[in-house]
Amino acid sequence: MSDYNARNYTEQGGEVTHIGGKIVYDNGLMPNMSTADVTSDTVAKVRTSLNALITNLKNAGLMIGDAFTMQYATVTDSVAGHADRQYNTGKISSVAVDNDEHIITITLSDKVKNLKDFEAGNGWGKHKWLGVGLGVGISPITGIYYNGAALSAEDVTEATQCDLDAGYFVRWVAADLVLAGNNTEKSVDNFTLWADGYAETTYKLVIVEPEDDSEE
């Protein structure tokens, strides 16, 4: 008797089959399946199921989640009573997003001390508030989790009021706290985003002032 060992075999009784090698079908298809059985609808369903499986694996941490690509958009806060906050927002000269280091750098055309105080309410306090529009390519934004909570219909309305396109939300920034590195109050210099199939990502805010008080 030879010492031949089969890598594919079925145990006695036929209830268990071991596959240690490849299964090759001569016609290239599964048994009892012809090319006529493979319709566009079938392919679409398989693709949908596969994508759902991949997303679930990413969410479970068994696969690396997709990376966000964040973009900036200008905020126009025209709501009555928000003139001081819009004044501060108007002092933004540029916003640079580093999607590798996850740093959002807000460069101002004037010193933070020269910005206007604005009372944000709801415990957020009176600070040198300004706004930036941020988007990661997910629309509606209610599919984005900000610091663990899904963005809401109110956030969508706020973004619309600030003339932002779909897929963007507003991040209000207390420029004085960020500049001072003060994270002891309700507003801090970082936030975390997550979405289905994406890696949880923490972003840091940085304020850069001009070297002199040229606008004083």
Q: Which of 106, 105, 108, 126 is nearest to 117 (CA)?
A: 126
Q: Which of 170, 104, 98, 92 is nearest to 135 (CA)?
A: 170
In the prediction, which pLDDT does 46 show?
77
127 with 176: CB under 8 angstroms? yes
Q: Which of 97, 91, 157 is nearest to 118 (CA)?
A: 91
* Cα angle, residue 74 at apex, residues 71 and 79 outer, rounded to 5°: 135
- Please identify every stretch of the chain with a pLDDT value under 50, giving residue numbers as ranges: 1, 216
pTM of the complete model beyond 0.85: no
Strand partners for 19: 8
> DSSP alpha helices (H): ranges in the chain?
40-59, 83-89, 153-161, 175-180
Residue environment code for 186-213, b if the CB has 16+ CB neighbours within 10 A, otherwise e: ebbbebebbbebbeebebebebebeeee
In the prediction, which pLDDT does 216 show?
47
Half-sphere exposure of 189 (CA within 13 A, CB side): 18
> Dmax of the chain from CA atoms?
98
In the prediction, which pLDDT does 58 show?
80
In the prediction, which pLDDT does 192 show?
98
The whole-angstrom separation of Cα 136 and Cα 61 is: 21
